[in-house]
Amino acid sequence: MDVRPTAPPPTEDERRAVDAALGPPDAEGPVTASEARARRTHLLPALRAVQERLGFVSEGALGYVCARLGLPPAEGYGVASFYALLALGERPRAFAHVCDDVACRAAGAERLCADVEKSLGPAFSAPHRADPGQPHPKTAARWARSPCLGLCEQAPAALVTVAGAAPVEQAFGGATVDKVRRALGGEPVEPLPCTLGGAGPRRLLARAGVVDATSLDDYRRRGGYEALRRALEVGPEAVLREVTDAKLVGRGGAAFPTGRKWDAVAKAPVRPHYVVCNADESEPGTFKDRVLLELDPFSLVEAMTLAGFAVGAEQGYLYLRGEYPLARRRLENALAKARARGLLGGDVMGRGVRFELELRVGAGAYICGEETALFNSIEGFRGEPRSKPPFPVQAGLFGKPTAINNVETLVATLDIVREGAAAYASVGTAGSPGTKLFCVSGAVQAPGVYEVPFGTSLGALLALCGGVKGRLRAILLGGAAGTFVGPEALDLPLSFEGARAAGATLGSGVVLVLDDSVDLRDQLRRLAAFFRDESCGQCVPCRVGTVRQEELLARLARGAPSGSVKEELQLLRELGQAMRDASICGLGQTASSAVESAVKLGVFEGKP
Amino acid sequence: MTQRTLELTVDGVKVSVPEGATLLDACRKAGKDVPTFCWAANLTPANVCRICVVELGGARTLVPACSRKAEAGQVVQTDSPRVHLSRKLVLELLGSSVDMSLSRDFQALSKRYGARPERFGNKAARAEAGARDAAHAGHHHPGDGAQAATVGQPVKVDNALFVRDYEKCMLCYKCVEACGTDAQNTFAIAVAGRGFEARISTEHDVALDDSACVFCGNCIGVCPTGALMFASEHELRAQGRWDESKQTVTDTVCAYCGVGCVLSLTVQDNEIVRVTSPSDSSVTGGHLCVKGRFGYGFVKGG
């Protein structure tokens, strides 16, 4: 490899930031190719460390990171420029990300953005013109618009980062200009408490809001680590059997049977095995995993340890989205305490089982919630999905058999292992046993996370939230990649089979309620903009298709179709079909799903 | 050791391929013309252009023939209505956003699939120099949809040997692969940015002279759209003097060292205007070094 460093030497500040993430540099000498391969996984943590300290990833810092890792600078730049939370041009150290996505939009995000603009000046937007060779000039902008921050129940929301030696990151709902300004000044702004509710047994939310989320002792007093203890007693085969018998399927959106996934990894002859938790919750309208991580972080640490034991993995990675600073602090605390007490490490619970768990924090990329993109992100590559097959259970993280699960899925296994599959299936439907978390936001009296048995009707769920505010126009089920349903769907049973039969999807559990004061055409244009922004750019159908979809919806939203509305809708259908059929991954394959379902609700009939 | 073979069905015809073969191999063996842009015999399949998608029995979506491994008993359709629609859309999406005018394959395929890129509207004006390189992931200027966004931008001319006309870049990843592990191991360029603003770039978009580039030109050799081009060809085209009817191609052996690379010299008006190497050459695999690719000045006694 011919690595020619061209960047200016790092400043003292840049060097300190990088060394803090990578450790002190070794004795001088070039990094060998095999060392470089092993070090690449530290790329994103190093870039994040620089961003947190300097407020942007400078040329000198990126050059130094690449030199330390033995990485070609072009590749380091390719990765750094992939993430929305990494700035490549200098900008103020205190910076606000104001959400203008679907849920916040329905809660007046545009008004908030206008107020913020009045107070802080124009939002960041990539410069129109730059000197070649200097593509990322300094900006004075102090804020930017953001996709969904996962605080939909307290919309509108903002994330404020203040870079420095002791960086401060705060995400909060109920956002106002005043709160944003205070956070920019480094003052603490408390997030609002999330309403927790439901019907039937509380399993996933049993401890949330009750337990001291920072105390391992309190966690254990409330049943914590009983599941892992039982797992260690009965052995991995029995654990796999219980999870399979419980018919647990993935709660991240794809609904793949967890037992089958774990079994395949456990049986894979190639070693080592890995377990990965996908906590990159970024589907617009989704916030259940955030609430679990903030309020009951030890449960995920326990569940991942249990999963590692079941599939024969000694190393786990927990990939958390970069926009969840409180969850990050809670998890860091939980990991440190679990380690200190022998619940992680070389001898878990004194039973001779080895399990290490590492927290990785994303940097603003919805696509990294796609499992293979997530692996690439951990490995230090661009978050581009891989072609499947091979599937993660065969060749996942670092090319090894990997069990990757969503937060809620993992936490659900605790109850299954502790109480048994039969007890787990005592509620729910035959096809979808157990309970499910729903993220209810928008026009209901009490937005929040609700745990209900599968099969509960949509209308019953909304009743638990105090009912709909205003006149119900549409409900977005399953997230941006989900489907809109109309008021006639209130009888829809919330189970995988029930949703499927109705041509809808539960997705990640999003129930975003829109009343008739909301401009649905504008919401669809925002959804389309989201997919355009979040496409990784690899494949043609998604990279260009999401642009064309947004342009088409922009035309329809302002009542200026090219030709007739009918012709536009025909083009939209063809575009959707090609994206669904020919895109590499789920992002492109579902980018038109919500839009096409809205067409069926008659959104484009009549005047805008 | 005999290699195991697999039998599968392509458009109703049974074909046998060796284990490890792709669906593309199987389709070609069955005599089916499956188009490709980002695939090349001498590169790892990037699997991104999606023009090669075929319908595979039992699969929810279409699958890329170029990288999908053949399995016994598979039933493949290469020209179903779904395949036809996706290929047409891929062509229209490319045609509406990229200058594909130098790709003969693109012209022929557009005819075959009835692609009409103009369905997506008139192309927007090209961006100013450097603007696409300044894009920040996850942020774009939302337009009113009246015009179709493109990757249009001025040509990058920062050295004497070749130009980069990224208005013609369909992001097939071939140049990155040739610069990296598939041929040169130089890693001067990578894909940067995200989504529609994804682009081929050196670090911070520095000029090639300031990057790790060794000017082997192997990126030019694999570029399917003419985005990467000899400066000599670019100048002749700009002057309107590029004339393929007046060109000859002569194969010879490079005179610089003892490796014996096969050179194919394209000559117009008694001037060498382009140097390539056959991708099936056992010596070069289609790849050359800076001397073989660009060091031909001595031929004219220069």
Comparing C-alpha atoms, which of A298, A208, A240 is closest to residue A421?
A240
Residues A130, B121: C-beta atoms closer than 8 Å: no
Asked if residues A87 and A54 have their Cβ atoms less than 8 Å apart, the reply is no
- Cα B9 to its chain centre, rounded Å, is 29
Q: What are phi and psi of A143, to 5 degrees?
A: -155, 160
Q: Count of CB atoms within 10 A of residue B112's CB? A: 14
Could you read off the pLDDT of A412-468 as tens digits, one per residue? 999 999 999 999 999 999 999 999 999 999 999 999 999 999 999 999 999 999 999
Comparing C-alpha atoms, which of B135, B113, B247, B276 is closest to residue A81?
B135
Tokens of B297: 């000045």
Percent of the residues in chain A that have a pLDDT greater than 70, as a whole number: 97
Whether residue A606 lies inside any domain: the answer is: no
Which CATH architecture does the domain made up of B151-300 adopt? 2-Layer Sandwich (3.30)
Asked if residues B232 and B274 have their Cβ atoms less than 8 Å apart, the reply is yes
Residue B269 to chain A, least CA–CA distance (Å): 35
Q: How confident is the model at residue A128 (pLDDT cuts 50, 70, 90)?
A: low
Residue B187 to chain A, least CA–CA distance (Å): 6
> What chain B residue is nearest to A389 in terms of C-alpha separation?
B68
Q: What are phi and psi of A282, to 5 degrees?
A: -135, 0
Whether residue A409 lies inside any domain: the answer is: yes
Residues B143, A551: C-beta atoms closer than 8 Å: yes
User: How would you classify the pairing of strands B262-268 and B271-276?
Assistant: antiparallel
Comparing C-alpha atoms, which of A70, A83, A81 is closest to residue A42?
A70
Same domain, A510 and A538: no
Residues B50, A133: C-beta atoms closer than 8 Å: no
Measured CA to CA in angstroms, residue A413 lies from A204, A231, A329, A423, B94 at distances of 10, 11, 24, 12, 46
Residue A397 to chain B, least CA–CA distance (Å): 19
Comparing C-alpha atoms, which of A80, A81, A101, A82 is closest to residue A144?
A101
Q: In a 10 Å sphere around its CB, with 0-12 CB exposed, 13-18 middle and 19+ buried, how is residue A379 labelled?
A: middle
Q: In a 10 Å sphere around its CB, with 0-12 CB exposed, 13-18 middle and 19+ buried, how is residue A133 labelled?
A: middle
Tokens of A102: 């679907």
Q: Which residues contact B6 (CB under 8 A, 6 or more apart)?
A: B16, B17, B18, B19, B21, B70, B71, B72
CATH classification of the domain holding A460: 3.10.20.600
Partners of A63 on chain B (C-beta within 8 Å) are 203
Whether residue A430 lies inside any domain: the answer is: no
CATH 3.10.20.740 fits B1-122, yes or no: yes
CATH classification of the domain holding A261: 3.40.50.11540
User: How would you classify the pairing of strands A510-515 and A353-361?
Assistant: unpaired
The per-residue pLDDT for A605 is 82
Q: Helix (H, G, I), strand (E, B), or coil: what is residue B290? A: helix
Whether residue A6 lies inside any domain: the answer is: no
Residue A6 to chain B, least CA–CA distance (Å): 7
Comparing C-alpha atoms, which of A425, A417, A421 is closest to residue A229?
A417
Cis peptide before A25 (omega within 30 of 0): no
Residues B64, A147: C-beta atoms closer than 8 Å: no
Could you read off the pLDDT of A14-23 as tens digits, one per residue? 999 999 999 9
Same domain, A22 and A115: no
Residues B121, A551: C-beta atoms closer than 8 Å: yes
CATH 3.10.20.740 residue ranges in chain B?
Answer: 1-122
Residue B240 to chain A, least CA–CA distance (Å): 28
Q: How confident is the model at residue A134 (pLDDT cuts 50, 70, 90)?
A: confident
Residues B146, A534: C-beta atoms closer than 8 Å: no
Number of residues that make up chain B: 302
Identify the residue whose tokens are 């401009």. A519
Q: How confident is the model at residue A69 (pLDDT cuts 50, 70, 90)?
A: very high
State the DSSP string of B108-133. HHHHHHT--GGGG-SBPPPPPTTTGG
Q: Using CA atoms, how far apart are residues A217 and A286, in angstroms rounded to an integer?
A: 30
Residues B86, A578: C-beta atoms closer than 8 Å: yes
Tokens of A140: 């004075």
Same domain, A221 and A365: yes
Interface A-B: count of C-beta contacts within 8 A: 266
User: Which DSSP symbol is given to A19?
Assistant: H
Nearest beta carbon to residue B134 from set A136, A147, A538 = A136
Same domain, A417 and A492: no
Q: In a 10 Å sphere around its CB, with 0-12 CB exposed, 13-18 middle and 19+ buried, how is residue A309 labelled?
A: buried
Whether residue A607 lies inside any domain: the answer is: no
Q: Which residues contact B81 (CB under 8 A, 6 or more apart)?
A: none
Nearest beta carbon to residue A135 from set B96, B198, B204 = B204
Comparing C-alpha atoms, which of A18, A107, A109 is closest to residue A57?
A18
Q: How confident is the model at residue A506 (pLDDT cuts 50, 70, 90)?
A: very high
Pick the range with the lowest mean pLDDT from A123-132, A186-195, B71-80: A123-132
The mean pLDDT value for A138-147 works out to 95
Q: In a 10 Å sphere around its CB, with 0-12 CB exposed, 13-18 middle and 19+ buried, how is residue B167 labelled?
A: buried
Residue B47 to chain A, least CA–CA distance (Å): 8
Same domain, A443 and A411: no
Could you read off the pLDDT of A184-234 as tens digits, one per residue? 999 999 889 999 999 999 999 999 999 999 999 999 999 999 999 999 999
The mean pLDDT value for B178-203 works out to 96
The per-residue pLDDT for A5 is 57
Percent of the residues in chain A that have a pLDDT greater than 90, as a whole number: 92
Asked if residues B195 and A535 have their Cβ atoms less than 8 Å apart, the reply is yes
Residues B195, A147: C-beta atoms closer than 8 Å: no
User: Which DSSP symbol is given to A588?
Assistant: H
The mean pLDDT value for B33-60 works out to 96
Whether residue A555 lies inside any domain: the answer is: yes
The mean pLDDT value for B97-116 works out to 98
Q: Using CA atoms, how far apart are residues A290 and A329, in angstroms rounded to an integer?
A: 12
User: How would you classify the pairing of strands A435-442 and A510-515?
Assistant: parallel
Could you read off the pLDDT of A285-303 as tens digits, one per residue? 999 999 999 999 999 999 9
Whether residue A587 lies inside any domain: the answer is: yes
Tokens of B280: 């099936």
Comparing C-alpha atoms, which of A406, A411, A221, A378 is closest to residue A297?
A411
Q: Using CA atoms, how far apart are residues A34 and A30, in angstroms rounded to an integer?
A: 12
Comparing C-alpha atoms, which of A527, A159, A351, A589 is closest to residue B63?
A589
**B3-31 as b/e: b if 16+ CB within 10 A:** eeebebbbbeeebebeeebbbbbbbbbbe
> What chain A residue is nearest to B188 in terms of C-alpha separation?
A74
Q: Using CA atoms, how far apart are residues B50 and B32, in angstroms rounded to an integer?
A: 17
State the DSSP string of A267-284. H-SSS-EEEEEEE---ST
Partners of B195 on chain A (C-beta within 8 Å) are 532-537, 543, 546
Residue B73 above 50 pLDDT? yes
Q: Using CA atoms, how far apart are residues A412 and A248, in angstroms rounded to an integer?
A: 8
Percent of the residues in chain B that have a pLDDT greater than 70, as a whole number: 99
Amino acid identity, residue A283? E
Same domain, A264 and A387: yes
Q: How confident is the model at residue A2 (pLDDT cuts 50, 70, 90)?
A: very low
Residue B1 above 80 pLDDT? no
Whether residue A189 lies inside any domain: the answer is: no
CATH 3.30.70.20 residue ranges in chain B?
Answer: 151-300
Same domain, A498 and A524: no
Residue B161 above 60 pLDDT? yes
The per-residue pLDDT for A8 is 85
Tokens of B137: 């992931």
Query: Domain range holding A172?
Result: 94-124+139-184
Q: How confident is the model at residue B218 (pLDDT cuts 50, 70, 90)?
A: very high
Identify the residue whose tokens are 């073979």. B5
Identify the residue whose tokens are 């999908």. B68
ipTM: 0.97
Amino acid identity, residue B234? H
Q: Count of CB atoms within 10 A of residue A214's CB? A: 14
Number of domains chain A contains = 5
Asked if residues A558 and A519 have their Cβ atoms less than 8 Å apart, the reply is no
Same domain, A118 and A235: no
Q: Using CA atoms, how far apart are residues A438 and A461, in angstroms rounded to an integer?
A: 9
Tokens of A245: 């018998």
Comparing C-alpha atoms, which of B153, B132, B143 is closest to residue B197?
B132
The per-residue pLDDT for A135 is 81
Same domain, A203 and A272: yes
Comparing C-alpha atoms, which of A439, A499, A519, A451 is closest to residue A148?
A439
Same domain, A114 and A19: no
> What chain A residue is nearest to B96 in terms of C-alpha separation?
A544
Same domain, A238 and A387: yes
Nearest beta carbon to residue B130 from set A75, A135, A364 = A135
Nearest beta carbon to residue B187 from set A62, A74, A574 = A74
pTM summary value: 0.97
Same domain, A233 and A313: yes
The per-residue pLDDT for A33 is 87
